[in-house]
Amino acid sequence: MPRFVSAKPDSRLIPLPWGTPLAEWPTEHLVALPRGISRHVVRFIRVGSSVYAAKEIIEHLALHEYRLLHDLMRMGTPSVEPIGVITKRVAADGTELDPILITRHLQFSLPYRSLFAAGVKQDTVSRLVDAMVVLLARLHVIGFLWGDVSLSNTLFRRDAGAFAAYLVDAETGELHDVLTAGQRENDLVVARTNLFGDFCDLQAGGMLEESLDPLHLVDMVETRYRELWAELTGVEEFSGSELGRIESRVRRLNALGFDVAELDIQTSDDASHIRIQPKVVDAGHHSRRLLRLTGLDTEENQARRLLNDLDTFRVRTGQQHLDEAIVAHEWLTDVFAPVIQIVPNELKAKREPAQLFHEVLDYRWYQSQRENRDVPLTEATHGYVNDVLRKLPDEAMSADALAPVEGRHLVDPYDPSQGFIEAGDEEPPYDPWEAAAEDAEPDTGGGFFDVAALRAQAAAKEASKKDGKVKRSVAARIRADSAPET
């Protein structure tokens, strides 16, 4: 009899064929989704409308990773959510099988290979590197030594115009009260080695723009990490007449998505010199505020954007004097919810609600600029749905990256690590974000995409679809029951 170790058991998992080695599971329980390179056998399993990741791994590591992921969740660090460990698995012939660690499939997440599949530009790489560096710094701030920093062990989610990185593999991790400089250096050395390998691998596969040099990229990761760490924890000294620098420091940290829990301020005896050092910092200022006010659980940049809209709503409706929780409730029911309701059910799986709202705001902004009038939100939403959303690939489970492109089929769709049956030189999958980045006006600043360009690209894509180049049967099958609950 298998044994379930779980704080949040899902009884639908019980009847699954635990007595079968994971690699031999019947495909009726599996769902084919893209994923990173792994040491262990990893499969995505589906029960009802939930998708879990299952990893066959020796017992003490399974339990170690399960507990660490719990600790990371508790501390609010972006990582996959542990569901349980199945131990005491025995095959029909009496052989003992390794336990399976179950985590919740991170919805809307993209393994880096899917992001790179379309060929990646400098700007996107730079945003990915930033997301990765912020994740590493966040982990180090709470005393987590990763031990195996790599692109394969990181998942990315779109966060407004940027990316948010999540830790997916905690097997080698260790949690300490505080990390020493040596421990952090160790993680950096590992990061350099692994990332260099990851980037070379992408280069060999022709997925990296030619101008991007793997060595330069790992140097960039290291430099940015050091800059961020200095910003987070470094001592700053200045003269007593420059008090504004305290506020600037806090603002810079907030802008990076970190909170200053405590600022250690020391003044020299004659008050001519001030020395500041942020004490404890953790992340997610805006997303926590939005969660508290509206119950919406979003990424940091999305939260900033939504809060902006909420604050504008407050001013526009002359409710500055009211409690912000009350205004937030009104904004949610009168502004946010109607936008989401306009989206037809069959398109809901394409974007998370918060990301969708963010994109509608962009769309409205561009339309208002173009037509020199204040476009009402409802009108903009309809326009966005028809012009943009209908043409975007489905990201509910990032299954689109797997959609078979003519002439290119995985040897085993449930185990992408086995590669493709034959690697033809067909067109790479279309990524509207990449396309938008390519055509975006050079100095829009905020990293917003250009809807007109996006529309043109989408039209081109439609045309090529009519040529029958793109088949999306797998994506469509997964899409059918993956629409997020609203």
Q: Which residues of this chain interact with Mg ion, rule CB under 5 A?
A: 38, 153, 169
**In this complex, which beta carbon is closest to ligand ADP, that of residue 106 or of residue 179?**
106
Q: How far apart are CA 277 and CA 237, in angstroms?
A: 9
> Per the structure block, which two tokens stand in for 174?
């260790």
**In this complex, which beta carbon is closest to Mg ion, that of residue 154 or of residue 355?**
154
Binding site partner of 43, from ligand ADP, Mg ion, none, Cβ cut-off 5-8 A by kind: none
Q: How far apart are CA 119 and CA 56, in angstroms?
A: 32
Report DSSP state, residue 410.
B
Binding site partner of 130, from ligand ADP, Mg ion, none, Cβ cut-off 5-8 A by kind: none
Task: For residue 366, give every residue at least 6 positions away whose Cβ sits within 8 Å of its Cβ, in sequence order, or none.
Answer: 450, 451, 452
Closest distance between ligand ADP and the C-beta of residue 102, in Å? 9
Residue showing the smallest CB distance to Mg ion in the complex: 169
Which residue in the block uniquely carries the two structure tokens 């030594």?
145
Closest distance between Mg ion and the C-beta of residue 167, in Å? 10
CB atoms within 10 A of CB 393: 18
Binding site partner of 106, from Mg ion, ligand ADP, none, Cβ cut-off 5-8 A by kind: ligand ADP
φ, ψ of residue 249 to 5 degrees: the values are -60, -45
The DSSP code sequence of 7-71 is SS--GGGTTS-TTS-GGG--GGGB--------SSEEEEEEETTEEEEEEE--HHHHHHHHHHHHH
Closest distance between ligand ADP and the C-beta of residue 129, in Å? 18
**In this complex, which beta carbon is closest to ligand ADP, that of residue 109 or of residue 124?**
109
**In this complex, which beta carbon is closest to ligand ADP, that of residue 83 or of residue 377?**
83
Task: For residue 186, give every residue at least 6 positions away whose Cβ sits within 8 Å of its Cβ, in sequence order, or none.
Answer: 145
Binding site partner of 35, from ligand ADP, Mg ion, none, Cβ cut-off 5-8 A by kind: ligand ADP
Residue showing the smallest CB distance to ligand ADP in the complex: 36
Closest distance between Mg ion and the C-beta of residue 115, in Å? 17
> Per the structure block, which two tokens stand in for 210?
């030619």
**In this complex, which beta carbon is closest to ligand ADP, that of residue 355 or of residue 381?**
355
Is 274 in a helix, a strand, or coil? Answer: strand
Closest distance between Mg ion and the C-beta of residue 171, in Å? 7
Q: How far apart are CA 426 and CA 157, in angstroms?
A: 26
Binding site partner of 207, from Mg ion, ligand ADP, none, Cβ cut-off 5-8 A by kind: none
- Using an 8 Å Cβ cutoff, are 484 and 340 in contact? no
Binding site partner of 124, from Mg ion, ligand ADP, none, Cβ cut-off 5-8 A by kind: none
**In this complex, which beta carbon is closest to Mg ion, that of residue 36 or of residue 161?**
36
Binding site partner of 125, from ligand ADP, Mg ion, none, Cβ cut-off 5-8 A by kind: none
Binding site partner of 458, from Mg ion, ligand ADP, none, Cβ cut-off 5-8 A by kind: none
Closest distance between ligand ADP and the C-beta of residue 169, in Å? 3
List the beta bridge partners of residue 87.
3
Binding site partner of 217, from ligand ADP, Mg ion, none, Cβ cut-off 5-8 A by kind: none
> Per the structure block, which two tokens stand in for 123?
């700007």
Closest distance between ligand ADP and the C-beta of residue 348, in Å? 20
> Quick one: which of 378, 334, 385, 379 has its CA closest to 359?
385
**In this complex, which beta carbon is closest to ligand ADP, that of residue 80 or of residue 179?**
80
Judged by the rule CB under 6 A, the positions of this chain that interact with ligand ADP are: 35-36, 38-40, 42, 53, 55, 80, 103-106, 109, 111, 152-153, 155, 168-169, 171
**In this complex, which beta carbon is closest to Mg ion, that of residue 153 or of residue 381?**
153
Closest distance between ligand ADP and the C-beta of residue 110, in Å? 9
**In this complex, which beta carbon is closest to ligand ADP, that of residue 83 or of residue 451?**
83
CB atoms within 10 A of CB 217: 22
Which residue in the block uniquely carries the two structure tokens 């995409």?
449
Closest distance between ligand ADP and the C-beta of residue 170, in Å? 8
> Per the structure block, which two tokens stand in for 314?
């407050």
Closest distance between ligand ADP and the C-beta of residue 111, in Å? 4
- What amino acid occupies position 102? I
Report DSSP state, residue 103.
E
Q: How far apart are CA 152 and CA 413, in angstroms?
A: 18
**In this complex, which beta carbon is closest to Mg ion, that of residue 38 or of residue 319?**
38
**In this complex, which beta carbon is closest to ligand ADP, that of residue 153 or of residue 457?**
153
Task: For residue 95, give every residue at least 6 positions away whose Cβ sits within 8 Å of its Cβ, in sequence order, or none.
Answer: none
Closest distance between ligand ADP and the C-beta of residue 401, in Å? 11
The beta strands (E) that lie in 305-393 are given as none
Binding site partner of 3, from Mg ion, ligand ADP, none, Cβ cut-off 5-8 A by kind: none
